Structure 1
């Protein structure tokens, strides 16, 4: 009698040797808590496998029993089981928690220090995006996640600037898809090739997501970006020609950074950092140093937000070094501007001025039509906003910087209002200008700018904007409590502005 192989990699009608395996107690506990029968779990595995384009997976109650007895199923079944139990219990259930992987292997709860490999990008991004999509905001962030900082953050990222290995990593060749024939034999199917137009369509989707973020804030479309990123990691599991795989990795890097940026804007700070780290890894795998430098710049911005200026400077300097031979003028201008912001935070006036001067010079050399799409947002208006905020930070203790801060932020507001595109940036510039008016004790002008920011904040979903606006209005109300316009604005903010769910520590 001919023996056919079961579609998940085992024998359909032969008893496999025990090899001394022990019952899988971890899986048994989760299975018992679920309330499912073996048949129901088998049906859900098969249904989920079809949904994720794995038609070769077909299991039954006897196979489930063998998993409980200690048999280790082949991919993608561990991934499917983890996802099913995650949905069942409303929390991320890792593959290792099911006893289906050694605890020291990579999984969704990862740190900054990751192996610089293609497999790292695909496996961890796939698992992390699934957890993000399946769980709510509180469950996904959780109390255990913390923002990495100091040497724990910077030292592992220094390896980004090291050259790639001289020999490229071979493209993995997956096993052919195996199905049973009506006669009980076996036939093999070729993987479906990726349409030639797919990378271009994905590129258009990334650009659309980027515009959505600028116009509506990171909180509104974040889940759509995460879903597209999850689908892209699935594509990377398939074999592709080297050029196609490099393009897909580049798009993965862009989407991962956008997911991180949107998470940052929505107040999901530890998750944002994790997406950014994975974006840096993806950029490294496709040898895109300029985009990797851009990722480090965004990570530096997050550190500035938390007043960790030394970490921000380390990240900016690493980005400048790694892109010294390949970064365009707009990228270098953005990095110099962030350097100036970081120096202003720690009160280093001369270094701040020098960095902002270099940013002005670099941007004047930029040709927007030759810059990549991901840096085209960094226009004259954005640079004025960055330098205005830097001088505003200096003005808190040095009144001489009030005038240059006000001049730059006012011009940034004028330019941004004329585009109709950079809506959140316009609101943040209004908030920055309001704080300058508070410093120079002009409550009426501060109310006008803050009210303009409030009108925008009610239309976009940006926790970052809400926190900054609320803090500015609170300061304004504390200093000018006797001014009717200030009291009216404070009451309106308390009444209309949603409370930010993740206040800055």
Structure 2
């Protein structure tokens, strides 16, 4: 059974509708998919895999194959469609993952955050071309999105906060110097500038590649302070990868990166950065016609960073709150949020700006532009 990639018997198997949907759209026959699985398995050194049409039929009927079959199927369908198709998108269970963990509902722990970012960025990098599936891919929305994101507010346990320093003998190979860390952070700033100048499509793979490299560093023994800085870099890069994906129409991919970025920002202990990531998720929900979800995300961002976000960041969050209210057709609340955004921005001092690079784009001109969008959206809804 193991040699064929089977997953054991299940008296109550149901057809795997997700896998079936991807399979039908691919245009492959069962025999062609079996041949591709066998070919990829040999490339991975899994010579024991010998799949045939009857085995593919069993997967479609609900049998869950053992690793590395789910990962191989993820890669094959990703390459076919030009968009990351995760294992859970195929209705399969990933290795070392509880069956209930899927989509955006991920474990809020450091090692699993690193593993998720590493796997997803690796899958993204392997794509030979960029494709657009539009509405054929499902995004998380409503309670399925909001409830997992609310766990961002749950304090990190004391045990997680006070991880011991790795012994010197264990960290010789992977320990980063301060100049190397500084260079990583400056590279992230450079990528953000490229995105502002050129748009998301041109540099997206470079950002994803850098993100994948940072996850490699996070899997090596590092001092606690270095790990926190690396998680911050990972959060910024994942958010940027999400924004670039959004920019070129890869909406499910964008959402996945935003979620992973939020997890990394929590590991970095950077609440203002987390609130900024939630604002990006909110902007995406407005674009997708779900202003109620957008408002929930913004309120979560505001509450989570209420005691630490700078006036510039708070002003940006109020401006996004106004956009959500505008798209919900609530003029009174929209105008109040616009006023709050403008009043809060009056506390920003351009000559003594302590804000990080990720929020410095939000100038007074940007504020007025955002508020203009709110009034425009309000006019359309009304």
Aligned to 1:422: none
Note the C-alpha offset of 1:385. 0.6
Aligned to 1:326: 308
Note the C-alpha offset of 1:193. 2.9
The yes-or-no answer on 1:270 pairing with 2:249 is no
Aligned to 1:289: 271
The yes-or-no answer on 1:209 pairing with 2:201 is no
RMSD value, Cα: 3.7
Work out which of the residue numbers 111, 135, 138 in structure 1 matches 2:131.
138
Distance 1:395 1:240, change over 3 A: same
Distance 1:133 1:110, change over 3 A: farther
Distance 1:266 1:37, change over 3 A: closer
Distance 1:359 1:83, change over 3 A: same
Note the C-alpha offset of 1:195. 3.3
Distance 2:37 2:150 in 1: 44
**TM-score, normalised relative to structure 1:** 0.58
The yes-or-no answer on 1:90 pairing with 2:79 is yes
Distance 1:111 1:88 in 2: 17
Note the C-alpha offset of 1:191. 2.7
Preserved contact between residue 280 and residue 296 of structure 1 (Cα < 8 Å)? yes
Preserved contact between residue 82 and residue 93 of structure 1 (Cα < 8 Å)? no
Preserved contact between residue 310 and residue 355 of structure 2 (Cα < 8 Å)? yes
Structure 2 gap ranges (5+): 7-30, 51-66
Over alpha carbons, which structure has the higher Rg?
1
Distance 1:349 1:137 in 2: 40
Distance 1:250 1:83, change over 3 A: farther
Note the C-alpha offset of 1:168. 2.3
Distance 1:397 1:23, change over 3 A: closer
Matches within 5 A, 1:447-462: none
Preserved contact between residue 243 and residue 254 of structure 2 (Cα < 8 Å)? yes
Aligned to 1:383: 367
Preserved contact between residue 322 and residue 333 of structure 2 (Cα < 8 Å)? yes
Distance 1:34 1:167 in 2: 42
The yes-or-no answer on 1:26 pairing with 2:14 is no
What do residues 230-276 of structure 1 show as CA deviations (whole Å, max 9, x unaligned)? 11111111010000000000000000000001111111111101100
Distance 2:34 2:178 in 1: 43
Matches within 5 A, 1:149-298: 149-168=141-160, 170=163, 191-298=173-280
Preserved contact between residue 165 and residue 223 of structure 2 (Cα < 8 Å)? no
Preserved contact between residue 171 and residue 239 of structure 1 (Cα < 8 Å)? no
Distance 2:95 2:87 in 1: 9
Preserved contact between residue 171 and residue 240 of structure 1 (Cα < 8 Å)? no
Note the C-alpha offset of 1:347. 2.0
What do residues 140-179 of structure 1 show as CA deviations (whole Å, max 9, x unaligned)? x6876312111111111111112111222636979x99xx
Distance 1:306 1:102, change over 3 A: closer
Note the C-alpha offset of 1:208. 0.6
Aligned to 1:410: none
Helix, strand or coil at the partner of 2:131? helix
Distance 1:261 1:320 in 2: 20
Aligned to 1:118: 110
Helix, strand or coil at the partner of 2:160? coil
Distance 1:232 1:353 in 2: 42
* Larger RCO, structure (CA 8 Å, separation 6 or more): 2
Distance 1:93 1:277 in 2: 16
Helix, strand or coil at the partner of 1:138? coil
Distance 1:257 1:35, change over 3 A: closer
Aligned to 1:10: none
Distance 1:397 1:111 in 2: 31
Preserved contact between residue 83 and residue 93 of structure 1 (Cα < 8 Å)? no
**TM-score, normalised relative to structure 2:** 0.75
Corresponding pairs, count: 330
Distance 1:95 1:111 in 2: 10
